[in-house]
Amino acid sequence: MKRRELLKMIVAATGTAFVGSNVLAYTVIPMVDSKDSGFSKDEIAFFNEVGESIIPRTDTPGAKDADVGSMIAILLADCYTPVQRKAFKDGIMSLKAKAKSQYTKGFLLLTPEQRLLLLSSLDEEANMYNKKMALAETQDSENGTAVPHYFSMIKQLVLFSFFSSELGATKVLRYVAIPGSYDGDFPYKKGDKAWAT
């Protein structure tokens, strides 16, 4: 049976004699515009540039293609605590200052190689810091009272925003909306992509 017919049949099979009115179930939460996040277009563009160094476009889309910058702004604005948000903002300032002091120019003027070098050193610094503070990078920093190194927050936000995006989930990872069956002994060869969920 085709799915569409099936859906029709399912709907036809129900329907109820009701008294009383109907209101919305499964509250639909409206999408949020990054304009309402309190972060400027330039800041969002900057997040995208940093994101692109972490998840670059290769033969598949990268962070900028998925506009991780907007998602990061929205998550920071709505899902993070003021303490975490401040730590993130301070971190971005610190990142910018590092670019200036090491290369005497702004981050956005650096070559991709320079950016990678700079951010890689920050990544190592973050790993050491977190180890010292016993903060796992995968820890959900939203709920923690301790704030991890700011670059860990950046990296977490980029990865989450990217792989939860449609491009990340469907073009970089694999995703099938309606698998229709289950195979627990499915062949895998090196290079095959992971399932998005």
Partner 1 sequence: MANNHYDAIVIGSGISGGWAAKELTEKGLKVLMLERGKNIEHVKDYQNMHKETWDYPHRGRPTQAMKKDFPVLSRDYPLNEATFGMWANEQESPYIEKKRFDWYRGYHVGGRSLLWGRQSYRLNTEDFMANAKEGIAVDWPIRYEDIAPWYGYVERFAGISGNRDGLNVLPDGEFQPAMLLNCVEKDISARITKAFKGSRHLISGRTANMTEDKPEQGRTSCQYRNKCWLGCPFGGFFSTQSSTLPAAVKTGNLTLRPFSIVKEILYNKDKKRATGVSVIDAQTNEIYEFTSKIIFVNASSFNSTWLLMNSATDVWEGGLGSSSGELGHNVMDHHFRVGASATVEGFDDKYYYGRRPSGFYVPRFRNWGGDKRDYLRGFGYQGSASRQGWKRDVAEMGIGADLKDAISEPGPWQIGMTAFGEMLPEHSNRIYLDPNKTDKWGLPVLAMDVSIRENELRMRKDMQQDAIDMFEASGLTNVQGFEKEYYPGMGIHEMGTARMGRDPKTSVLNGYNQVWDALNVFVTDGACMTSASCVNPSLTYMALTARAASFAVDELKKGNL
| Stretch 75-114 residues interacting with partner 1 (CB under 8 A) | 75, 78-81
Residue 194 near partner 1 by CB under 8 A: yes
Residue 4 near partner 1 by CB under 8 A: no
Which of 29, 145 has the CB closer to partner 1?
Answer: 29
Q: Give the list of residues 6+ apart from residue 116 with CB closer than 8 angstroms, or none.
A: 53
Site stretch for partner 1 (CB under 8 A), options 41-49, 68-76, 89-97, 99-107: 68-76
User: Does residue 174 sit in helix, strand or coil?
Assistant: strand
Give phi and psi for 195, each to the nearest 5.
-70, 145
Residue 119 near partner 1 by CB under 8 A: yes
Query: What is the footprint of partner 1 within residues 8-67 (CB under 8 A)?
Result: 9-32, 53-56, 58, 60, 62
Residue 153 near partner 1 by CB under 8 A: no
- Asked if 47 and 75 count as a contact pair (C-beta separation under 8 A), the reply is no
Residue 164 near partner 1 by CB under 8 A: yes
Q: Which residues pair with 195 in a beta bridge?
A: 174
- Asked if 142 and 84 count as a contact pair (C-beta separation under 8 A), the reply is yes
